[in-house]
Structure 1
């Protein structure tokens, strides 16, 4: 009888141990991926909100089998460090500010060479998705840095925020306007203004101290950076939505996912654009609604006066530079150029 009891106890212990082992095995099979970003967690803007949405959706759609932990506020890698950090596997997901790397990712920064252009945030996102599906060279450019684009986050449509009213091209003559990249300096010069290179973090003081007269920006970012405290004229000049950020992955991490999880990430990337654009629209509407109380005046700029300078040789040379890079990579540029034409 004692032997039977002992065998029963041993059997129960074995079952319990098996259950514990199974639980640990299941837990071990779950993956926690790292997302590295320069955005502060409490930013409360469309970028931060939509990032959290992606993370929550990933966990939900994988049935809580996998999750993403975010390292906010540049705690792991600063803005310009993220591509190399992702490539090295320091993170699995991350935000790449594409215009900061026009030489490293020229194809994926196509829109940065075509300012002004007429497309909105959601339209640019759709074009980037289409180009990646149509031209393998876009993905190959990133793959050379061990990266994979899984989503697109264009910036909002830009105008000019100025310290004095600008009602026509004539009012821009001699104005000092913040520029960066290739297209903006050429456009500012074509409009008769002076391009000035000033970091985003320094533009508030530059506007306040009249080092700058204007900066290209959208309402959400103007409010987020508090520029609208020191510059009270928002000029509705149709510069178009800039292509801002890639939601990128370490390519090895992406390829190492099982087929089901990869499919979830791919669909999330497509769904992300709509969520982000919706959050951005809500922010822009709220900012615009609050501008009268802050004393910000919105001024319509004659669109035809902007469009008239697009044929300027300086602007066209910037566009030709991208066309040359695209054709050297084997990408037929005609359709892309046409899609970005006014």
Structure 2
């Protein structure tokens, strides 16, 4: 009897070895920057979360530094299947990302978590967005944000909107255009060129995000930093090749979407933490080069919003030009901002809430 059991067990093992192994789904993801920073930290979390939810059946291969395609070719690169997924910066694709570009306007306010949750809900809620993305063979998975746009200067600070006129400023998207309308001289430089430009006097000020100040060593050449309490560049997201996505099983698609939805809270916590730490350090006067922190008044922020009006109208015209309904999209996004603003005011950040 024992010999028979051993023989049966041997046959079962042999049969199992003859069966093909379960196929692993591998997703190559292209990111335009280095493997360090807030977005890479979140992408690594997403990779691990998908592996956890799929019990290892889905593997994300992260490719850094535009190894597969440049940021300006992301829509075509993902749509053509050069990578199954990747980071898309909406500012580079005004037509293809017409709806998503709404997240780059000063509508969501300065709270990164509110902006993330609102943009994420917005991108999932309206069928016309999915239909428009499908034309580029894309599916939306999740969102990031540069977080609130502020401005740091060498020399005289910006204490009010009146101080913007005459400044030579490196701007960021619509926020830079608004400063130009208010009398600033806009200087076209990348974020990585701002340090030298401030140091040499080529520019007086640079717009940017709080967490990049120490990362790019702006704190060495800035004398002051004005918190604008204004808006964000939120049109930076995780997109996937639609044909590839549609060919996955329903359970695989559900896992990718679930992790993408969870990503807003994860990234929100990361970027909010970085910003708070850097801003607290500046307010405390820490470091060899103290930086004065100035908070723009609500009245001045309202003036900035008013000056942004023409650029919001430009967005509406662009959205309409590709067949989208800008009025419906604006209403949807503003409703999401109101929803998550109310949730934040009532409950605070999700990671700070008491758990039972």
> TM-score normalised by the shorter chain: which range applies?
0.7 to 0.9
SS at match of 1:86: helix
Match of 1:78 among 56, 70, 80: 70
Partner of 1:296: 291
Question: By how many angstroms is 1:10 displaced?
Answer: 10
1:319 equivalent among 305, 312, 319: 312
- How big is the shift at 1:274? 0.1
Query: Is contact 2:152–2:206 with CA below 8 Å preserved after alignment?
Result: yes
Name which of structure 1's ranges 206-215 and 253-262 shifts more when overlaid on structure 2. 206-215
Aligned to 2:353: none
Contact 1:237-1:303 at 8 Å conserved across structures: no
The match for 1:18 among 7, 15, 38 is 15
Q: RMSD of the TM alignment (CA)?
A: 2.6
Structure-2 change in CA distance of 1:12 and 1:305 (3 Å): closer
- Taking the aligned partners of 1:185 and 1:232, their CA distance within structure 2 comes to 20
Deviates more, 1:77-86 or 1:29-38: 77-86
Name the structure 1 match of 2:161.
Answer: 169
- Counterpart check, 1:89 vs 2:75: no
Quote the offset at 1:116 in angstroms. Answer: 6.6
Inter-CA distance 299–154: structure 2 relative to 1 (3 Å threshold): same
Contact 1:180 1:197 in 2 (8 A): no
The 1:275–1:117 alpha-carbon spacing in structure 2 relative to 1, beyond 3 Å, is: closer
Equivalent residue, structure 2, for 1:335: 331
2:302 corresponds in structure 1 to: 307
Whether 2:129 is the aligned partner of 1:135: answer no
Superposition deviation, residue 16 in structure 1 = 4.4
Q: CA deviation at 1:101?
A: 2.0
CA distance in 2, matches of 1:121, 1:25: 44
Describe how 1:82-231 pairs up with structure 2 within 5 A: 82-112=74-104, 114-115=105-106, 118-164=109-155, 165-181=157-173, 183-231=174-222
List alignment gaps of at least 5 residues for structure 1: none
2:141 and 2:256 in contact (8 A); partners too:
yes
Supply the distance in 1 between the matched residues of 2:334 and 2:280 (Cα, whole angstroms): 35
Question: Secondary structure in 1 aligned to 2:106?
Answer: coil
Q: 1:102-143: per-residue Cα shift (whole Å, max 9, x none)?
A: 23312110132x337525222222222332333222222221
Contact 1:139 1:148 in 2 (8 A): yes
* 8 Å contact kept, 1:122–1:154: no
Aligned to 1:32: 26
1:235 aligns with 2:226: yes
Corresponding position of 2:348: none
User: How far, CA to CA, are the matches of 1:60 and 1:118 in structure 2?
Assistant: 34
Change (3 A) 1:210 1:336: farther
Contact persistence 1:168–1:305 (CA under 8 A): yes
Aligned length in residues: 327
TM superposition shift of 1:62 = 0.3
In 2: Cα distance, 1:120 partner to 1:274 partner: 12
List per-residue Cα deviations over 1:4-28 (Å, max 9, x = no partner): x9xx999887654422233x422xx
2: CA distance, partners of 1:264 / 1:253: 14
The Cα offsets for residues 28-56 of structure 1, whole Å up to 9 and x where unpaired, read as x1112111112322x1x221111100000
CA distance in 1, matches of 2:61, 2:69: 15
- Hey, what does 2:60 align to over in structure 1? 68
| Residues 1:52 and 1:309: Cα distance change in structure 2 (over 3 Å) | closer
> How many Å apart are 1:152 and its aligned residue?
0.8
Distance 2:209 2:97 in 1: 24
Q: Which has the larger radius of gyration?
A: 1
Q: Does the 8 Å contact 1:86/1:94 carry over to 2?
A: yes
Residues 161, 233 of structure 1: 8 Å contact kept: yes
CA 1:330–1:274 in structure 2 vs 1: closer, same or farther (change >3 Å)?
Answer: same
